[in-house]
Amino acid sequence: MIRRPLILVAAIATLFSGLATAQNLSPKAQYTYDTKQANTRYADDKKLCAEETTSKTRLQCLRDAKSEYDQAIINAKAAQKAALAGGSTQYQPPQAQHQICADCGKVLAVNVSEKAGEGGALGLIGGGVAGALLGRQVGGGTGRDLATLAGAAGGAYAGKQVEGHYKNAKVWTVTVQYETGAKADFNFDQDPGLAAGDLVRNSGNGIARR
């Protein structure tokens, strides 16, 4: 969040000192007034962000400042639209609006599927030995040797497939719709304990209940 030790106090004082005048403005004039106030606060916030000690905190500060500026413009437009729709010639204070949380969302669905495993060296060796023993029981001489090789190759392949089958694992795919309207899927190797309708938010590279 943006730190405004003195500027925030000054902004609040300015807001209340100009409130009486703002109440008598037309919707269009009020929108101009509100956007000017938002631009002023945004400029002050960027000055504060420039004082941060690290590039990471400066970048986060600028993001927060832009988010607050965008919300102020949205509120100003909503107030103007409400005033015009109501046929009012004077400014009507906007009702409290829900702040959009870009990292917050709701679970739409949880699907469980199986991920095919891959056989490793153990399956190859075990299958190869079994295939070779089986191959040596067929034919004789050179034919027997060829059968042994063919049996070893086929057995290795089969062994790998069998091992891969036993390594199949369940995957839980959670589909989330964010407050911004975007959707994303998250995969879990274990049951995340979530269900459709649960409220979640980003946590590292995954999500967590909120």
Domain-wise residue ranges, the chain: 7-85, 104-115+169-209, 121-166
- Across residues 160-184, what is the average pLDDT? 80
Please state, in angstroms and as integers, the Cα–Cα distance from residue 165 to each residue in 98, 183, 188, following that order: 50, 32, 20
Decide if pLDDT at 163 tops 80: no
What pLDDT sits at residue 63?
Answer: 87
Task: State how far the Cα of 57 lies from the Cα of 54, in Å rounded to an integer.
Answer: 5
Q: Which residue has the higher pLDDT, 204 or 108?
A: 108
pLDDT in tens, 23-75: 567 888 888 999 999 999 999 998 888 888 888 888 888 888 898 899 989 99
| Sheet with 183-188: strands ordered across | 183-188, 169-178, 104-115, 199-203, 206-209
Nearest Cα residue to 174 out of 182, 183, 162 = 183
Mean pLDDT for the chain overall: 74
What pLDDT sits at residue 126?
Answer: 54
Decide if pLDDT at 157 tops 70: no
- Across residues 84-101, what is the average pLDDT? 62
Q: Which residue has the higher pLDDT, 72 or 139?
A: 72
**DSSP bridge pairs for 115:** 169
What pLDDT sits at residue 188?
Answer: 93
Do residues 201 and 210 lie in contact, with contact meaning Cβ atoms separated by under 8 Å? yes
Decide if pLDDT at 141 tops 90: no
Task: State how far the Cα of 138 lies from the Cα of 173, in Å rounded to an integer.
Answer: 49
What pLDDT sits at residue 174?
Answer: 95
Give the side-chain half-sphere CA count within 13 A for 61: 20
- The DSSP letter of residue 100 is P
Task: State how far the Cα of 124 lies from the Cα of 115, in Å rounded to an integer.
Answer: 20
Residue with tokens 């269900």: 195
Decide if pLDDT at 125 tops 70: no
Task: State how far the Cα of 194 lies from the Cα of 110, in Å rounded to an integer.
Answer: 7
Decide if pLDDT at 146 tops 70: no
Task: State how far the Cα of 89 lies from the Cα of 142, in Å rounded to an integer.
Answer: 103
Three-state SS annotation for 169-193: EEEEEEEEEECCCCEEEEEECCCCC
